[in-house]
Structure formats: structure tokens, C-alpha cells
Amino acid sequence: MKLASHEFTSESVSEGHPDKVADQISDAIVDLFLSRDPTSKVAVETLTTTNRVVLAGEVRTNNGAEVTHDEMNQAARDVVKRIGYEQDGFHWENMEIANHVHGQSVEIAQGVEEGQGLYGGEGAGDQGIMFGYATNETPELMPATLVYSHQILQRLAQLRHDGTHPELEPDAKSQVTLQYEGSKPVGVNALVVSHQHKDSATLDQLREIIRPVIKDVLPDGWFPAEDKFYVNPTGRFVIGGPDGDAGLTGRKIIVDTYGGAAPHGGGAFSGKDPSKVDRSAAYATRYLAKNIVAAGLADRCTIQVSYAIGVAQPLSIYVDTHGTGNVDEERIAKALRELFDLSPKGIRTHLKLNRPIYGPSAAYGHFGRTPTDAGGFSWEKTDLVDDLKHLTN
């Protein structure tokens, strides 16, 4: 069904948001383990609060490699230092770290190792549903509301890190409301940026720091009316980050994915090694949905897969092109099974996920990013396009 004229809103949060600090620490620990043993099993959660970080979870290496609590703690400090927290209430050097990470349960391990499951092969690490999505409204094949929300905060973080605007502190949020005509964005109806700042900075100063960044990110002529351009609408924002609000791993999953434009499965991504289908299958479904849209089979595409713990292949594959497709959806679903092995091992092998590549994904979204030479964001490649174009014949 064709979309009518409507508004839609997405938000993003900066690398210094307390929940994102937690995500980045958890993924730094995932990368630490994968750098020692690519087959490591990791499920680590992080809590951040005033000058304190708490780590908890289960880990296992298979090659005898050891990762000590001291090394995990140092990884956490390195993340907080890189973000830029040197405040009285949260400082990379002075914060206390309570580390409760321990070995993985044998009962969890059984059935998810290759050849040990009741149904043979390497089973999924848990049951669950995962979604992938793509839309042709932006070059990134992502919702425009989320792309602009991320980019605004990324540019502001760059200005903070390079010293251009030392008035800025690490914690920030953005929110973009676009006007759509059908499925295409045509303008901005409202825009919000809340940014932590030095005590000496005024709201007028912040507004004029943020204004040119927004103008640079948005298409020409899209800057909202002044009364729809909100900067720190609650007033001053000096106390922020984990000192202002506790943070937890996995609490910004909509920011991580599609900004509310598509469904999300039951699990977060950060802190989990790629044997966990919460993470790897969400990457796989994004990869498939993006290739379908890039191949011109549809303007928008949502894919769902489901798994059972200990069972290798997905129980179901659902494809929805939202009335924009030119190929039957059942035919697409059948082709996906033939082109891509959606077992946990198949996903990891095809996308080369058993590498320490996850730190950069833990802020500014896991999707819509550029694949790196080191293998990061491999799920953003469009190397299935030629195979999928054959479906239109």
C-alpha cells in the first residue's frame, strides 16, 4: 500500500551517552577476547554510574588463551578515555571497576558447539527472532531520520575531539522529525539537540555551534523554522554522562538499528560474540535486505528470521517488500536460502565475523556504515546484487 503524507521521527545518542559508554565497553571486551581466540564465547554486560563501572557476564576461550580481569578493566578505561570523560563525576583514571565476569556455564555451551547439538551441527546460542531492513530513501539505504540524527552527533563529536569547540562535553542526544510525501522525505519539521557542555558555555553559544553542523548535514533548504529548532530545551546540561544517569548495555537498541522505522528482535547486540544470533543474524538480515533493495527488487524490504537454541538452520524466513517489490516475496525468500547459509556458522563464515571488529559499531549505529579494510561492517556490502538481479528475469 502506498504511503500517504506523514511525519516520522528518529533519535540518536552520542558516544558519551551513558548507555553508549556501556555498549562500547562491552564491545571492547568482545574484541579483546576475539583478538586472542576468534572462537571465544563472550556475553558481557556493563553498568556505568558516577565514577563506577560494573562488568558482569560469561566468557570462554577454546584455545587456552587467557584474558584477565585486569586486561578487561584496562579495556574499559581505554574506552572512557577515548570518549573524553575526565570529569569529577566520571573519569577514566579514577573510576572504580567491579569485575564479575566468569566462565561460561557448561549447560549453555552444550548444543551450540559444532557437532554437539541434539539436532547436529552448530546450533543457535538461543531462541529468538531477528529483523533486517533497508530503504532506498538515502544512499546508505537507511531511514533518513536516523541517518541525519547520527551524522549530527558524529560531526559534533569530531569538533569536540579536534579541539574546535572545547565547550562541548561527551554526552548528547539528537532527534529529527521529517516530513514525508509517500515514502520520500521532503523536509524537516522539527529538530532537537541536547548537548552536555562546559559550565562556562551559554545556551546561545551552543545554539550557534550546533546550527552550522545541522546545515551541513541536512540537504539545502531543509533547516527547520527557528521555533522548531530546539537546543537543550530543558536548559543547562553540565552534569551528564554516567554521572548524570546510569547506563546499561543494550538499552539503545532502536538507535543501534533503524530508528523505529522497522521492527527489532528480542535481543541487543553489544557485548555478544558473533555466535549469538541476536547479533549475527541481525547483521545477516540487514545484509540480505540491503542487497535486495540495492538490486532494485524493492524500494523497501523487511526480513525476519527465527531460531531455536541448539538448532542450526532458522525455523522461518519472512520477506516483506511493503508493496514496493517487483518480485514475488516467496520467490525472494527461497532465493535467500539458496544464496546464503543462515546457520550461525554460515553467517559468521560468509560475513567473516570472528574478528575484533565490533568496537566501532557500538556508537552511531550498527547499520548504514561503510565497510572497512579490517573487515568491519562487512554486513553493509552489496555483493549479492548480481545474483539477486537474476530474479527479475
Q: Which residues are annotated as a binding site?
A: 17, 19, 45, 58, 104, 171-173, 236-237, 245, 251-252, 268, 272, 276
Binding-site residues for Mg(2+) sit at 19
Cell of 259: 530508528
Q: Looking at 45, 137, 169, 243, which residue is catalytic?
A: 45
Q: Looking at 8, 11, 15, 20, which residue is catalytic?
A: 20
Chain-centroid distance of CA 76 in Å reads 19
Binding-site residues for K(+) sit at 45
Of 94, 95, 89, nearest to 55 by C-alpha is 95
Task: In whole angstroms, give the CA distance from residue 141 to residue 258.
Answer: 11
Q: Which residue in this structure is represented by grid cell 570462554?
A: 60
Q: Looking at 56, 109, 246, 333, which residue is catalytic?
A: 246
Is residue 272 among the annotated active site residues?
A: yes
Contact 137, 8 (CB under 8 A): no
Is residue 45 among the annotated active site residues?
A: yes
Is residue 276 among the annotated active site residues?
A: yes
The DSSP bridge pattern shows strands 96-103 and 52-60 to be: parallel
Q: Which residue in this structure is represented by grid cell 547436529?
A: 120
Q: Looking at 36, 58, 78, 264, which residue is catalytic?
A: 58
Q: Looking at 245, 329, 341, 387, which residue is catalytic?
A: 245
> Which residues of 78-227 form beta strands (DSSP E)?
86-87, 90-91, 96-103, 128-135, 168-181, 184-197
Q: Looking at 165, 272, 290, 348, which residue is catalytic?
A: 272
Residues 6+ away with beta carbon under 8 Å from 36: 61, 63, 65, 66, 67
Contact 130, 304 (CB under 8 A): yes
> Which residues of the chain form beta strands (DSSP E)?
6-13, 41-49, 52-60, 86-87, 90-91, 96-103, 128-135, 168-181, 184-197, 229-231, 247-248, 300-307, 316-320
Task: In whole angstroms, give the CA distance from residue 79 to residue 273.
Answer: 18
Is residue 381 among the annotated active site residues?
A: no
Task: In whole angstroms, give the CA distance from residue 34 to residue 32.
Answer: 6
Give the total residue count for the chain: 393
Is residue 173 among the annotated active site residues?
A: yes
Is residue 278 among the annotated active site residues?
A: yes
Q: Looking at 60, 77, 195, 276, which residue is catalytic?
A: 276
Is residue 345 among the annotated active site residues?
A: no
Q: Looking at 15, 17, 23, 350, which residue is catalytic?
A: 17
Is residue 329 among the annotated active site residues?
A: no
Is residue 20 among the annotated active site residues?
A: yes
Phi, psi of 346 (to 5 degrees): -60, -40
Is residue 77 among the annotated active site residues?
A: no
Is residue 367 among the annotated active site residues?
A: no
Is residue 252 among the annotated active site residues?
A: yes
Query: Catalytic residue positions?
Result: 17, 19-20, 45, 58, 173, 237, 245-246, 251-252, 272, 276, 278
